[in-house]
């Protein structure tokens, strides 16, 4: 993974610095709407002035609009970086194959797969490789920090929602990675058969390859859905915990209603960046597999088997 990131940084470091700056700005604003929600609820409970309520609502809308504008710019620039890297990878894969002819180690069928789907996945990831974890981890820190600062016990519940999910994702993703590597190899085999053989003669072998690809995909789906089920269950436990503990603190006079409501909103707010972070981790894992296989296609001889290149 470090070699992969070094390659991304070498190609896109100037744009990555801009993306990181935008990501930090968005993450820094993540807790501001929650703070304003807290103030609005407490202002209503205290039966405050209408003018103050109106200004609080205007401030809330202003923060949301500013955050939305920054996210738009971040997403657009991220996509642009990814597409530039896709173009670069396709050009280099083609040029490397031409250099190796007529003893090229990459067949025409594999070349088609590499310059289409595999290059697309690896290149598109480059734009999000640094900005996405900075944004999502920064948002998680910002929101959990706000909840903990408002009521430390509720902040611990928010943190406890995240930690077990990290363990679950890492364990299951390792199995998904192995399945993804096997799927990519089978798709390359199928592409080679289509390019090299007579269609009528290769039908049985080709369908066998596709059947195996189907079985692998279904296995990946089952692993992803089981992860999602466990994540939803843990999130529900966290919501119930904040309602129970926060409600008890309100009844005991140890906190206010606005803090409980803002903490619930914060817990919901955590779900978005956490799911984005999980999706990013999955994408990073799969992209690393594809990147390694792109490299292997040029540094291995056909007889080398399934070993890994450097």
For residues 246-263, give the mean pLDDT: 86
Token pair in block for residue 266 = 């914060």
- Least confidently predicted of 101-115, 231-245, 253-267, 296-310: 296-310
The domains found in the chain, sorted by start residue, are 2-304 (1.20.1560.10)
Task: Name the average pLDDT for the chain.
Answer: 80
Return the number of other C-beta atoms located less than 10 Å from residue 109's C-beta. Answer: 19
CA distance 271 to 19: 22
For 196-224, write each residue's pLDDT tens digit. 666 666 777 777 878 888 888 898 888 88
For residues 273-279, give the mean pLDDT: 84
For 45-81, write each residue's pLDDT tens digit. 777 788 888 998 999 999 999 999 999 999 999 988 8
Burial of 255 (0-12, 13-18, 19+ CB in 10 A): buried
More confident: 288 or 35: 35
Q: Is the pLDDT of residue 141 over 70?
A: yes
DSSP 29-63: HTTHHHHHHHHHHHHHHTT--HHHHHHHHHHHHHH
For 104-129, write each residue's pLDDT tens digit. 555 655 665 566 656 677 777 888 88
Task: Provide the pLDDT for residue 34.
Answer: 87
For residues 93-112, give the mean pLDDT: 62
* Local confidence band at 100 (pLDDT 50, 70, 90 cut-offs): low
């Amino acid at each position: 993974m470090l070699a992969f990131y070094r390659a991304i940084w070498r190609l896109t470091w100037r744009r990555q610095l801009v993306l990181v700056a935008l990501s930090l700005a968005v993450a820094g604003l993540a807790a501001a709407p929650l703070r304003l929600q807290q103030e609005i609820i407490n202002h209503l409970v205290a039966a405050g002035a209408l003018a103050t309520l109106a200004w609080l609502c205007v401030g809330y809308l202003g923060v949301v609009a500013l955050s939305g504008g920054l996210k738009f710019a971040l997403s657009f620039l991220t996509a642009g970086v990814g597409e530039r890297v896709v173009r670069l990878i396709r050009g280099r894969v083609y040029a490397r194959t031409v250099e190796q002819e007529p003893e090229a180690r990459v067949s025409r069928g594999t070349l088609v797969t590499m310059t289409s789907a595999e290059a697309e996945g690896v290149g598109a990831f480059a734009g999000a490789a640094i900005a996405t974890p900075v944004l999502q981890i920064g948002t998680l820190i910002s929101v959990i920090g706000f909840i903990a600062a408002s009521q430390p016990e509720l902040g611990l519940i928010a943190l406890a929602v995240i930690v077990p999910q990290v363990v679950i994702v890492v364990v299951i993703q390792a199995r998904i990675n192995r399945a993804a590597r096997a799927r990519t190899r089978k798709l390359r085999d199928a592409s080679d058969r289509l390019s090299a053989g007579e269609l009528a003669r290769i039908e049985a072998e080709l369908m066998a390859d596709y059947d195996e690809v189907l079985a692998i995909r279904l296995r990946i789906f089952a692993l992803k859905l089981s992860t999602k089920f466990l994540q939803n269950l843990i999130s529900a436990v966290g919501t119930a915990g904040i309602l129970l503990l926060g409600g008890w603190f309100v009844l005991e006079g140890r906190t206010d209603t606005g803090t409980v409501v803002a903490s619930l909103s914060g817990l919901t707010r955590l779900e978005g960046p956490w799911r984005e972070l999980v999706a990013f981790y999955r994408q990073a894992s799969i992209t690393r597999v594809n990147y390694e296989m792109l490299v292997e296609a040029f540094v291995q001889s056909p007889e080398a088997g399934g070993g890994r290149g450097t």
